[in-house]
């Protein structure tokens, strides 16, 4: 008997019990769909987190930080803790450097009327929006004049605006930072919706670096952002600058290029996400296993119900192989159909997630193909025992079975 | 062509060995019409199952076409059932989910006959038993007599030399049974070997020989005096 004939037979017999076939298929369907959805979310989340971390350094910006800021703990005596003007001058002297900017960041408390909130404070030059990657959506960004004049102005993030002013207009309002009044001149949003901001919220306050130095005279620049001219090898320039700074500081590890740090953190996060995805995927695999048990159960019922039919087929010349294949093909058709439906559902779910949350969830085609092969394999594994049971029935007993 | 030599068959029931056939000697020649008669429990169905290669004897020998079939592997037995033997059962044994014509095609499916050829042959056979107009009906849409006609068409699908009929009229009324018997007689007239198991004397008299079975033995062979 050829495959085409067996497929027709299997489809006909499934069609005779549509509800049952559908419910059996549903088990595999749900199992495959949940595994695929989890893989998609895992992949998307990973891509997002890694993009978030490594996206922090734009390709033409080198971020240089004192080592102390990366490795927490008590600083060694004499360790460089901050960036000073001489460091800036050294960096600026390199050819290929377009501009050198100091940025400060830290946590602070802002108040507005009787409301207060913990914020992350960013301070920098007038192009801080580019360096800290945000967009002013209402009002405007502080200007170079504001920086020069130590202006008491602030740009606040949308979520901070919501907390302090609700639906009221934040522009022109006065907030206080360590007792210093600041006028809100702009409301900002991150350049792109990110997982970090989705999870953590982002109550950010952006002010000119000069103003920050007035309010927090003891703060030192936390990061040096070096904007590189187009066409320059960013990595080699970064290495040369760091080397020069370290020679200047007399400490071979005083400064580091935190762009590399971001990459290694990204790799670590990627690894963790992969492990998490695998663990949750394994749990979803249990759903698939249960689906497989359901298939085996139904195939056993089907063999029992069709005992007489098996006897008749044997009397007409069916070999054991024909009987085994008949039931195997049937269970494979069920699980493959469930697999295809599950893959389709997984793809739809990940597309929906992408559209609704911005998480770049996707199902790699290899995972889809693997899911299909695996669901067909479940059909074989779970159909084998019932099929063997059918083929080993004694023909006379089978014929007499009522 | 069919030769049984001292065939016995016993079943174990609990810890007891129950003999069902006790040394059957039987020869059936090509083209013969043989009837086997006996009360229920006489072992005639078991005999039929052994003849039809659905069961193996406990001892004795069975030769089909001059060769012993006792030690053939199961695939070879399946091939013989498929090619050389046609079964007709008391309860028709059509597969319920399949139309008449699909049922008739089934032995040809197992024989590997291509689809178009299969369909043509099945329709031809249904035509022969007068069922061509109901070819696409499911068994439960057919009367008992019609189902048995389809079953006979199916038994003939691969043109077997031997037709084994187990109480072919047992579930039918007098008139329908008579019609089925006439089909079997026509097949015999065409040269096919026919073995009928029955306890209807009217059916048995259609045979050239009647073997009477009692308690697992053939006790008497009768040649009906009336010409058929």
The answer to whether position B201 is within a domain reads yes
Residues of the domain holding B91: 31-56+69-222
Q: Map tokens 């790799």 to a residue.
A: A267
- Which of A240, A257, A274 is the endpoint of a domain? A257
Does the residue B25 lie in any domain? no
CA B176/CA B174 separation, integer angstroms:
6
Domain match, A13 and A72 both: no
- Do strands A153-157 and A204-208 pair parallel, antiparallel, or not at all (unpaired)? antiparallel
Asked if the structure places residue B119 within a domain, the reply is yes
In a domain? residue B174: yes
Report the distance separating Cα A319 and Cα A64, nearest Å.
76
Q: Do A105 and A243 fall into the same domain?
A: yes
Query: Is residue B109 in a domain?
Result: yes
Question: Which of A232, A257, A282 is the C-terminal boundary of a domain?
Answer: A257
- List Cβ neighbours of A248 (8 Å cut-off, separation of 6 or more): A86, A87, A90
Q: Tell which of A195, A225, A257 closes a domain.
A: A257
**Dist. CA A153–CA A115, nearest whole Å:** 19
Separation CA A47–CA A353 (nearest Å): 14
A8 and A73 assigned to the same domain: no
Claim to verify: residue A236 and residue A303 sit in the same structural domain: no
ipTM of the complex: 0.94
- Say whether both A231 and A111 belong to one domain: yes
Give one DSSP letter per residue of A194-215, joined into a string: -HHHHHH---EEEEEHHHHHHH
CATH number at residue B74: 3.40.50.300
Task: Look up residue A35 and give its two tokens.
Answer: 């595994």
A213 and A81 in a common domain: yes
pLDDT of residue A341: 96
What pLDDT shows up at residue B199? 84
State the Cα–Cα distance between residues A278 and A211, nearest whole angstrom.
49
Question: Is there a single domain that holds both residue A10 and residue A69?
Answer: no
Asked whether the beta carbons of residue B81 and residue A2 sit closer than 8 angstroms, the reply is no
Identify the pLDDT of residue A114: 83
Cβ distance B97 to A320 less than 8 Å, yes or no, reads: no
Record: contact B81-A319, CB cut-off 8 A: no
Q: Give every strand in the sheet of B162-166, ordered side by side.
A: B85-88, B162-166, B193-198, B33-37, B209-214, B217-222
Q: Determine, yes or no, domain membership for B22.
A: no
Nearest Cβ partner for B75 among A319, A395, A396: A319
Domain that holds residue A276: 3-52+266-400
% of chain B beyond a pLDDT of 70: 99
**Rounded-to-integer distance, Cα B214 and Cα B94, Å:** 30
Whether residue A130 is found in the same domain as residue A46: no
**Domain identity same for A329 and A393:** yes
Q: Mapping DSSP to helix (H, G, I), strand (E, B) and coil, where does residue B60 land?
A: strand
In a domain, B18, yes or no: no
Q: 3-state SS of chain A: helix, strand, coil percent to 5? A: 60, 20, 25
Of the partner residues B52, B74, B97, the one whose CB lies closest to the CB of residue A315: B52
Give the number of domains in chain B: 1
Determine, for residues B97 and A16 on separate chains, whether the beta-carbon distance falls below 8 Å: yes
Q: pLDDT digit of tens for each residue in chain A (402 aa)?
A: 678 888 888 888 888 889 999 999 999 999 999 999 988 888 888 887 777 665 554 567 787 887 765 555 555 555 666 777 788 888 888 888 888 887 887 788 888 888 888 888 888 888 888 777 788 888 999 988 888 899 999 999 888 888 888 888 888 889 998 888 999 999 988 765 554 454 445 788 899 988 888 888 877 777 788 888 888 888 888 888 888 888 888 888 788 887 666 666 777 777 888 888 888 888 888 889 999 999 999 999 999 999 999 999 999 999 999 999 999 999 999 999 999 999 999 999 999 988 888 788 888 888 889 999 999 999 999 999 999 999 999 999 999 887
Does residue B46 form part of some domain? yes
Contact across the interface for B75 and A320, Cβ inside 8 Å: yes
- Same domain membership, residue A225 and residue A107: yes
Kindly state whether residues A213 and A275 are assigned to the same domain.
Answer: no
Angle between helices A365-391 and A320-357 (to 10 degrees): 150
Please report the pLDDT score of residue A127 as a whole number.
Answer: 82
Main-chain phi, psi angles of A90, to 5 degrees: -60, -45
Put simply, whether B43 touches A (Cβ < 8 Å) is no
pLDDT tens digits for chain B (228 residues)? 899 999 999 988 888 989 999 999 999 999 999 999 998 889 999 999 999 999 999 999 999 988 999 999 999 999 999 999 999 999 999 999 899 999 999 999 999 999 999 999 999 999 999 999 999 999 999 999 999 999 999 999 999 999 999 999 988 999 999 999 999 999 999 999 999 999 888 899 999 999 999 999 999 998 887 654
What six digits make up the tokens of A375?
């669901």
d(CA A27, CA A38): 17
Domains identified in chain A, total number: 2
Q: Is the distance from CB of B3 to CB of B27 less than 8 angstroms? A: yes
Query: Which of B51, B73, B109, B113 is most worth mutating to test chain A (most A CB atoms within 10 A of its CB)?
Result: B109
CA of B109 to nearest chain A CA: how many angstroms apart?
Answer: 6
Q: How many CB pairs under 8 A join A and B?
A: 68
Give yes or no: residues A45 and A83 share one domain. Answer: no
């Amino acid at each position: 008997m050829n495959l085409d004939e067996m497929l027709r037979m299997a489809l006909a017999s499934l069609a005779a019990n549509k509800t049952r076939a559908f419910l059996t298929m549903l088990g595999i369907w749900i199992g495959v769909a949940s595994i695929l959805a989890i893989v998609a979310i895992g992949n998307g989340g990973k891509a997002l987190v890694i993009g978030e971390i490594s996206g922090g350094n734009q390709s033409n910006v080198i971020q240089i930080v004192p080592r102390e800021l990366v490795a927490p703990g008590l600083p060694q005596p004499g360790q460089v803790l901050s960036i000073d003007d001489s460091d800036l001058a050294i960096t600026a002297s390199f050819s290929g450097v377009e501009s050198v900017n100091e940025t400060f960041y830290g946590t602070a408390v802002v108040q507005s009327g009787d409301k207060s909130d913990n914020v992350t404070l960013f301070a920098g030059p007038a192009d801080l929006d580019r360096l800290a990657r945000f967009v002013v959506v209402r009002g405007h960004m502080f200007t170079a004049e504001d920086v020069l004049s130590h202006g008491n102005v602030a740009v606040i993030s949308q979520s901070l605006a919501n907390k302090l002013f609700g639906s009221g207009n934040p522009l022109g309002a006065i907030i206080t930072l360590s007792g210093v009044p600041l006028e809100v001149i702009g409301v900002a949003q991150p350049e792109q919706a990110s997982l970090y901001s989705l999870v953590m919220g982002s109550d950010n306050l952006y002010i000119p670096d000069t103003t920050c130095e007035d309010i927090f005279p003891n703060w030192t620049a936390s990061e040096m952002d070096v904007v590189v001219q187009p066409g320059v090898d960013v990595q080699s320039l970064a290495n040369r600058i760091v080397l020069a700074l370290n020679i200047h500081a007399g400490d071979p590890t005083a400064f580091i290029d935190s762009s590399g740090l971001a990459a290694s953190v990204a790799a670590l996060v990627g690894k963790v996400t992969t492990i998490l995805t695998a663990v949750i995927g394994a749990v979803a695999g249990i759903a698939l296993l249960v689906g497989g048990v359901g298939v085996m159960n139904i195939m056993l019922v089907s063999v029992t119900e069709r005992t007489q039919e098996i006897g008749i087929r044997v009397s007409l010349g069916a070999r054991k192989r024909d009987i085994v294949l008949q039931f195997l093909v049937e269970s494979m058709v069920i699980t493959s159909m469930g697999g295809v439906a599950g893959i389709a559902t997984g793809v739809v779910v990940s597309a929906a997630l992408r559209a609704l949350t911005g998480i770049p969830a996707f199902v790699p085609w290899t995972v889809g193909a693997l899911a299909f092969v695996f669901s067909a394999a479940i059909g074989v594994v779970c159909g084998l025992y019932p099929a063997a049971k059918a083929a080993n029935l004694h023909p006379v007993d089978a014929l007499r079975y009522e | 062509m069919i030769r049984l030599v001292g065939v016995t068959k016993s079943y174990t029931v609990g810890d007891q060995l129950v003999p069902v056939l006790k040394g059957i000697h039987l020869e059936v020649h090509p083209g013969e019409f043989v009837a086997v008669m006996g009360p229920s429990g006489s072992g005639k169905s078991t005999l039929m199952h052994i003849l039809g290669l659905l069961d193996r004897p406990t001892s004795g020998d069975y030769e089909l076409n001059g060769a012993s079939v006792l030690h053939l592997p199961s695939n070879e037995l399946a091939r013989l059932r498929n090619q050389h033997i046609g079964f007709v059962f008391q309860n028709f044994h059509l597969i319920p989910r399949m139309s008449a014509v699909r049922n008739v095609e089934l032995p040809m499916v197992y024989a590997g006959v291509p689809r178009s050829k299969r369909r043509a042959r099945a329709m031809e056979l249904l035509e022969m038993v007068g069922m061509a107009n109901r070819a696409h009906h499911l068994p439960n849409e057919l009367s008992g007599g019609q189902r048995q006609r389809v079953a006979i068409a199916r038994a003939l699908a691969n043109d077997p030399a031997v037709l084994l009929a187990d109480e072919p009229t047992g579930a039918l009324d007098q008139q329908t049974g008579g019609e089925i018997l006439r089909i079997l007689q026509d097949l015999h007239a065409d040269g096919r070997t026919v073995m009928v198991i029955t306890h209807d004397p009217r059916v048995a008299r259609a045979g050239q020989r009647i073997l009477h079975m009692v308690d697992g033995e053939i006790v008497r062979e009768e040649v009906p005096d009336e010409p058929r």
